[in-house]
Chains A and B, each alone.
Chain A
Amino acid sequence: MEKYLYVALFAPLVGSLFSLLFTAQKKNVITALVTSGLLLLSFVSSLSLMYAVHSDMIIHVKMMDWISAGNLNLPFGFVVDNVSVVMMVTVTLVSSIVNIYSMGYMMHDKGYNRFFTYISAFVFSMLILVMSDNFIGLFIGWEGVGLCSYLLIGFWYEKDTASWAGNEAFIMNRVADLGMLMGLFLIYWQFGSFEYDVVFAHIGGINPAVVTTIGLLLFIGAMGKSAQFPFHTWLADAMEGPTPVSALIHAATMVTAGVYLIIRASALFSLVPEVGHVIATLGAFVAVFAASMALVNRDLKRIIAYSTLSQLGYMFVAAGLGAYWIALFHLMTHAFFKSLLFLGAGNIMHAMDDELDIKKMGGLFNAMPYTAILMAVASVALCGIYPFAGYFSKDMILAAAFNGGNYYIWAALFIGAGMTAFYSFRLIMMVFFGDKVYKKLGFHPHETYPFVLWTLLPLGILSTIAGFFEHPFEEFTTRLLSKYDFSFSHTTEIGLIFLTLTFVILVVLATIYKYGRGGFSKQIETMPLYILLKNQYFIPKIYETMIFRPYYVLSRFAWKQIDVRIIDFTVDLIAKILYLLGQRSRKMQSGNLSDMLRWMVVGIVVLLALAIFYRPGM
């Protein structure tokens, strides 16, 4: 089985290195074909690993000793167990689909070969992250995906906004990673090891206050990667990258790494329910906060990005409340329908010459019916309507919130579900139905290549049926993760489901009805609430005035005053003194023999004086 593990892990790396050879050349389809083939190979290997894990086998390999210095001993090991294999299958499946999809989407881009290099490098880093058997390997993968995310957000680096967004994502993640790094140091300090097995075996004997600190610090890292408040601004700006990247990295896989970290360290987090409570509360807040910004946004991709944020909030609620397998389940179903939604958005952008304003679309259903159907499926799954995938996972998160007695969290998630239904169908209605605004603006939309649509089909099917694997999934993952028992009666459960489902369906119907008749009037745009939401609660503005500007002033001061006046001055002074000395002593070399003899005598006198007065060791 080890060889499947190595194939699954290294196939993307091979693909990445292969297409790296072509980056300086013109578009070459072979890069796309080879990387797609290797990603599919990785997917197939992950599937066979899943089968092996299913028959109660945990594959744990030590590839090599990595760092051995003093007391520090870090083997480079990988583990495939019930949690990591779920992530592996999800990541490789979505990335294979995205890679094939990109062959159509990036068809005319001049960075064609480079794009596939980055995507495969990303998948490799992500697999390192999920498969590592120690925190350091996880951290390396963590930074690796951050780097690939930076490269891919700034893929069109000649655009100022894109390179700005790339920098923003990278720097924000660095800030959060500091927290994570401190958590890792604390772990090493307490346990003397980074390996999961060692750490989680000894976690009971550690001072609870320290465990709480470790939990909080790790969660700060998770907040950065999963773009939770207050690190959320980078995710919306990351939409500057190519759409397949948004689907793969900023919806399905990388941003869920934070949730994965919490699930992976569940043995740690389940010891400190207070931290879990903080996580769940923040998650619930973000679920509503992000969804509210999606309500009024007009940018196609940003709406979906805020929706991703909101769904990540749901996952954190589940993870924080100790329902780890539910969080993982939602992570998986979300990966399917959210990447489908993004890839559908990519089709629309393709058809509309990269136009993103949904006000300029409308009535696209006739032009691109298959995309419309796929996106509608994804949206229904996102809203959580029976029998689509989101219904099962999301409903269980709501039930878990209710079960824990955290009624305010439940209420927030309930409102969030309503908002989700509203913005999803607002998007569908404004893009695919209503007046054909695009005709006036001179667009000629057309359906994309058929093979692209065919690659989306597996995602569409999974978004529809994945929910029915709830019980096998629970059985499979709870062999490793702790079980989560619902304590309320069956009637309450039915009542909750009925309540949520009715509410969501009512919101959906109301949205369809409202936008079917032309939507809201212009007047709403002058309401203070609308303006607040439209400007994303003014948080980007606040960050700019409170952080960027003072930091800019500070940096400028450091440059003009400290660097130029002190450091540069010192360096220049040394150079000037040496130059002056040279200038002065040049006169020694007059070419006159008696001058030279004079200097020779001076030298002899100096040496003589040294020989007489300087006696080392006396």
Chain B
Amino acid sequence: MITLTHYLVLSGILFSIGIVGVLRRKNLLMLFFSTEILLNAVNIGFAAVSKYYGDLSGQIFSFFIIAIAASEVAVGLGLLVLWYKRSGTIDLDSLQMMKG
């Protein structure tokens, strides 16, 4: 029997993986992957809790998140391509133009 706890634990594990990815990875593409993992971890949590309480607003919220994640990736990837054309690298440490 798969209970709410299993879903939430899965969500937590995925979130942790995402966080570690955000912190450790220096490749911008990998950073986007990690962000997707983070967002989807939250989605799982929302959907699970929504089902548990029989309240649809959680699932509706996850749809919103999916939509936002999609547009975010679209804009982000566009910028990334532009950055790659300009600097020839997608390393995070090269993004230091704002350093004071």
Chain B 53-77 near chain A by CB (<8 Å), digits 1 or 0: 0000000000000000000000000
Cβ-based interface call for A207 (8 A): no
Q: Nearest chain-A residue to B23 (Cβ)?
A: A598
A592 contacts across to B, CB distance below 8 A: 92-93, 96, 99
Cβ-based interface call for B98 (8 A): yes
A591 contacts across to B, CB distance below 8 A: 96, 98-100
Cβ-based interface call for A585 (8 A): no
Contact of A601 with B19 at beta-carbon distance under 8 Å, contacts A592-B93, A594-B26, A594-B92 already known: yes
B residues 18-70 in Cβ contact with A at 8 Å:
19, 22-23, 26
Cβ-based interface call for B95 (8 A): yes
Cβ-based interface call for A597 (8 A): yes
A residues 574-618 in Cβ contact with B at 8 Å:
589-594, 597-598, 601
Pairwise interchain contact B96-A597, C-beta atoms closer than 8 A:
no
Secondary structure at the B interface, as helix, strand, loop or mixed, is: loop
CB distance from B97 to the nearest CB of A (A): 8
Pairwise interchain contact B92-A593, C-beta atoms closer than 8 A:
yes
CB distance from A590 to the nearest CB of B (A): 7
Q: In the complex, what distance in Å separates the CA atom of A589 from the CA atom of B100?
A: 8
Pairwise interchain contact A601-B23, C-beta atoms closer than 8 A:
yes
Q: In the complex, what distance in Å separates the CA atom of A166 from the CA atom of B95?
A: 71
Given A592-B92, A594-B93, A598-B23, 10 additional A-B pairs, CB 8 A = A590-B99, A591-B96, A591-B99, A591-B100, A592-B96, A592-B99, A594-B92, A597-B22, A601-B19, A601-B23
CB distance from A456 to the nearest CB of B (A): 79
Interface residue tally of chain A, by bracket?
under 10
A-B contact pairs, 10 of them (CB 8 A): A591-B96, A591-B99, A593-B92, A593-B95, A594-B26, A594-B93, A597-B23, A598-B23, A601-B19, A601-B23
Q: In the complex, what distance in Å separates the CA atom of A598 from the CA atom of B95?
A: 16
Secondary structure at the A interface, as helix, strand, loop or mixed, is: helix
The 7 closest A-B pairs by CB, nearest first: A591-B99, A591-B96, A593-B92, A597-B22, A594-B92, A593-B95, A591-B98
Chain B 83-100 near chain A by CB (<8 Å), digits 1 or 0: 000000000110110111
Q: In the complex, what distance in Å separates the CA atom of A591 from the CA atom of B23?
A: 15
Residue among A589, A590, A597, A601 with most chain B CB within 10 A: A597
A589 contacts across to B, CB distance below 8 A: 100
Q: In the complex, what distance in Å separates the CA atom of A598 from the CA atom of B98?
A: 18
Q: In the complex, what distance in Å separates the CA atom of A601 from the CA atom of B98?
A: 21
CB distance from B33 to the nearest CB of A (A): 14
CB distance from B90 to the nearest CB of A (A): 12
Chain A 124-160 near chain B by CB (<8 Å), digits 1 or 0: 0000000000000000000000000000000000000
The count of residues in chain B whose C-beta lies closer than 8 Å to any C-beta of chain A is 11
Q: Which residues of B contact A (CB under 8 A)?
A: 19, 22-23, 26, 92-93, 95-96, 98-100
A597 contacts across to B, CB distance below 8 A: 22-23
CB distance from B69 to the nearest CB of A (A): 17
A598 contacts across to B, CB distance below 8 A: 23
Q: In the complex, what distance in Å separates the CA atom of A592 from the CA atom of B22?
A: 13
Q: In the complex, what distance in Å separates the CA atom of A589 from the CA atom of B95?
A: 14
Q: In the complex, what distance in Å separates the CA atom of A593 from the CA atom of B99?
A: 10
Q: In the complex, what distance in Å separates the CA atom of A601 from the CA atom of B93?
A: 18
CB distance from A602 to the nearest CB of B (A): 10
B98 contacts across to A, CB distance below 8 A: 591
Q: Nearest chain-A residue to B22 (Cβ)?
A: A597
B96 contacts across to A, CB distance below 8 A: 591-592
CB distance from B72 to the nearest CB of A (A): 15
B22 contacts across to A, CB distance below 8 A: 594, 597, 601
B99 contacts across to A, CB distance below 8 A: 590-592
Q: Nearest chain-A residue to B98 (Cβ)?
A: A591
B19 contacts across to A, CB distance below 8 A: 601
Q: In the complex, what distance in Å separates the CA atom of A591 from the CA atom of B19?
A: 20
B92 contacts across to A, CB distance below 8 A: 592-594
A590 contacts across to B, CB distance below 8 A: 99
A594 contacts across to B, CB distance below 8 A: 22-23, 26, 92-93
Residue among A589, A592, A598 with most chain B CB within 10 A: A592
CB distance from A15 to the nearest CB of B (A): 63
B26 contacts across to A, CB distance below 8 A: 594
Q: In the complex, what distance in Å separates the CA atom of A592 from the CA atom of B97?
A: 9
CB distance from B79 to the nearest CB of A (A): 13
Q: Nearest chain-A residue to B96 (Cβ)?
A: A591
Q: Nearest chain-B residue to A591 (Cβ)?
A: B99
CB distance from A77 to the nearest CB of B (A): 68
Q: Nearest chain-B residue to A586 (Cβ)?
A: B100
Q: In the complex, what distance in Å separates the CA atom of A598 from the CA atom of B23?
A: 6
CB distance from B87 to the nearest CB of A (A): 14
CB distance from B59 to the nearest CB of A (A): 24
CB distance from B56 to the nearest CB of A (A): 26
Q: In the complex, what distance in Å separates the CA atom of A590 from the CA atom of B99?
A: 7
Q: In the complex, what distance in Å separates the CA atom of A132 from the CA atom of B14?
A: 86
